[in-house]
């Protein structure tokens, strides 16, 4: 991710920050579009099926897929953008739409409104791709952060399932410890819960957030220290894997490689749209529940675009790129193929049309997101420019805590100092 951040700074020098207009002429002959995304082989297979359907309806357009696992995707994308050779349709997430958009690498989608109809998408969904008053991206679908649980692991350990409406973080830790203590070696109550999303949930429950609305930081070092105190206790009690295994798992890409995906943990945090992949990998019927602490303070979960589709500002085929995105978000045939892999469709008509087509797992995801939408009304705070470095900083600081190279108190201060420097916060 460091390479991605460094290369992103080269955008202006490479011409992406220029005012040159992209090609807008009609193309009479064959057009090739490059379409990039991240994900595993299952996502690639679904996406290719949708591409094939699009190509059947647009015989003059060929779509060339470009995908990678999450860990390598953004470094590759930054390289192509800095070199002036980015894909025509780009999948983004997190703070990347703002970073790339503010540096001139993304098209204002109002320029292709004739080919891309956003009228059915609610404002709350479109806000995920709107920065500085410009619509740089379109949400692939809605998503929320959740806790996955494996009832089989609970049952075999003789541990009751948690009550999501009442449980606390203390209950979470005690439940994880009980599962590990009553399970065979190699089966854990939980994986290490540290992630940007889990931290933001925890911070919001405490009246804070990782970032502030004005582009600074809004989380206290003491809150971070409390978090890392908890995770250290999880490892010490055996509720979570030791440092070596946790570090190894952190570097793995897909759900099939996780403890949950291998049926070796009772609980693991994940995005709701990963539910089907985790269940398929584990072979067990899993459940999605609210994170701990949601009933003891203000709710920390939120609805967010799973991913964002954007168009490269220098594309030679803006209308065709817009037509592809329009197909992906507005066509029921595309939605029937992709299902909930990229979140619950934001277009309500499309969601209604595909309900009968959804698998049991996809219906679980849809119902969970709908249930979370009833109260998860906290504002979405997008990270400021420079915040794409935060994940790497978190991984480095968390590694220091894992291997007891720094204390939780030192970790809290280090995280705030390094992120503040990355985003230019005072």
Domain-by-domain residue ranges, the chain? Answer: 2-141+306-346, 144-303+381-423
Which residue, among 307, 301, 423, has the nearest Cα to 36 in the 3D structure? 307
The rounded percent of the chain whose pLDDT value lies above 90 is 71
**Helix H or strand E segment including 391:** helix 390-402
For residue 253, name the pLDDT band (cuts at 50, 70, 90): low
**pLDDT above 60 for 26:** no
> Over the stretch 332-371, which tens digit does the pLDDT of each residue have?
999 999 988 898 898 988 988 888 888 888 889 988 988 8
Structure tokens at 21: 């207009």
Q: Cβ distance 80 to 68 under 8 Å?
A: no
Q: Coil, strand or helix: which one is 188?
A: strand
Q: Give me the CATH topology for the region 144-303+381-423.
A: D-Maltodextrin-Binding Protein; domain 2 (3.40.190)
At residue 406, what are phi and psi to the nearest 5 degrees?
Answer: -140, 155
Cα 210 from chain centre: 16
C-alpha span between 37 and 67 (Å, rounded): 5
CA distance readout (Å), 382 to 142, 200, 215, 386, 397: 15, 12, 9, 11, 22
Collapsing DSSP to helix, strand or coil, 316 comes out as coil
Q: Which two tokens stand for residue 134?
A: 């410009």
pLDDT digits (tens, 9 = 90+) for 133-156: 899 999 999 889 999 999 999 999
The rounded distance, in Å, linking the Cα atoms of 142 and 369 is 8
Rounded percentage of the chain residues whose pLDDT exceeds 70: 93
CA atoms of 44 and 113, how far apart (whole Å): 28
pLDDT at 18 over 90: no
**Local confidence band at 328 (pLDDT 50, 70, 90 cut-offs):** very high
Averaged pLDDT, 212-231: 95
Question: Burial code of 372-387, b = ≥16 C-beta within 10 A, e = fewer?
Answer: beeebebeebbbbebb
Q: What is the pLDDT of residues 255-281, one digit of tens each?
A: 999 999 999 999 999 999 899 999 999
For the stretch 171-196, pLDDT in tens is: 999 999 999 999 999 999 999 999 99
* CA terminus-to-terminus distance, the chain: 24
Residue 166 has pLDDT above 60, yes or no: yes
**SS3 of residue 206 by DSSP:** coil
The neighbouring-strand residues paired with 289 are 147
pLDDT of residue 359: 87
* Model confidence band, residue 288 (pLDDT cutoffs 50, 70, 90): very high
SS3 111: helix
User: Residue 314, SS3?
Assistant: coil
Are 81 and 11 in contact by the 8 Å Cβ rule? The answer is yes
In this prediction, residue 114 carries a pLDDT of 97
Distant-in-sequence, close-in-space partners of 58: CB < 8 Å, separation ≥ 6: 320, 323
> Which residues share a beta bridge with 130?
135
235 DSSP 8-state letter: H
Cβ(225)–Cβ(411) below 8 Å: yes
Angstrom distance (rounded) from CA 160 to CA 167: 12
Q: What is the pLDDT, as a whole number, of residue 28? A: 56
User: What are the distances in angstroms from CA 79 to CA 70, 74, 89, 219?
Assistant: 15, 8, 16, 32
**Chain Cα centroid distance, residue 391:** 12
Q: Which residue has the higher pLDDT, 251 or 55?
A: 55
Asked if domains 2-141+306-346 and 144-303+381-423 share a fold, the reply is yes
Q: What is the pLDDT of residue 81?
A: 96
255: nearest Cα among 425, 420, 41, 53: 41
Mean pLDDT score, 383-387: 87
> Residue for token digits 């951040």?
5
Class of domain 2-141+306-346: alpha beta
- Give the model's pLDDT for residue 412: 98
Average pLDDT, the chain: 90
47 sits in which H/E element: helix 41-57
Residue with tokens 């779509």: 63
Residue 109 pLDDT > 60: yes
């Amino acid at each position: 991710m460091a390479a991605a951040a460094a290369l992103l700074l080269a955008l202006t020098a490479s011409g992406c920050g220029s005012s040159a207009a992209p090609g807008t002429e009609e193309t009479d002959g064959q057009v090739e579009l490059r379409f990039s995304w991240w994900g595993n082989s299952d996502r690639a297979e679904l996406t290719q099926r949708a591409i094939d359907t699009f190509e059947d309806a647009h015989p003059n357009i060929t779509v060339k897929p470009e995908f990678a696992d999450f860990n390598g995707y953004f470094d590759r994308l930054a390289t192509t953008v800095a070199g002036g050779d980015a894909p025509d349709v780009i999948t983004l997430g997190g703070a990347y739409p703002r970073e790339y958009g503010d540096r001139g690498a993304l098209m204002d989608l109002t320029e292709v409104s004739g080919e891309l109809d956003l009228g059915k998408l609610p404002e709350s969904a479109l806000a995920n791709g709107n920065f500085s008053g410009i619509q740089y991206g379109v949400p692939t679908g809605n998503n929320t952060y959740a806790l996955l649980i494996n009832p089989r692991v609970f049952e075999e350990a003789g541990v009751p399932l948690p009550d999501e409406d009442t449980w606390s973080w203390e209950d979470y830790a005690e439940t994880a410890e009980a599962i590990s203590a009553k399970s065979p070696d190699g089966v854990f109550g939980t994986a290490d819960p540290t992630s940007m999303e889990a931290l933001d949930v925890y911070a919001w429950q405490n009246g804070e957030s990782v970032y502030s609305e004005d582009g600074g930081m809004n989380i206290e070092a003491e809150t971070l220290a409390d978090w890392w105190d908890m995770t250290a206790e999880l490892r010490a009690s055996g509720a979570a894997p030791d440092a070596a295994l946790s570090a190894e798992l952190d570097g793995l890409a897909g759900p099939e490689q996780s403890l949950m995906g291998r049926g070796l943990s009772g609980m693991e945090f994940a995005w709701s749209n990963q539910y089907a992949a985790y269940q398929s990998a584990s072979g067990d019927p899993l459940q999605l529940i609210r994170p701990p602490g949601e009933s003891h303070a203000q709710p920390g979960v939120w609805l967010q675009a799973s991913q964002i589709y954007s168009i490269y500002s220098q594309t030679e085929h803006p209308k065709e790129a817009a037509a592809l995105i329009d197909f992906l978000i507005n066509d029921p045939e595309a939605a029937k193929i992709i299902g909930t892999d990229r979140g619950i469709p934001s277009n309500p008509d499309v969601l209604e049309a595909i309900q009968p087509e959804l698998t049991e797992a996809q219906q679980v995801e849809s119902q969970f997101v709908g249930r979370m939408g009833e109260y998860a009304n906290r504002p979405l705070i997008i990270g400021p420019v420079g915040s794409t470095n935060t994940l790497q900083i978190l991984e480095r600081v968390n590694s220091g805590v894992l291997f007891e190279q720094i204390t939780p108190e030192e970790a809290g201060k280090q995280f705030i100092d390094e992120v503040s420097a990355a985003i230019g916060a005072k």
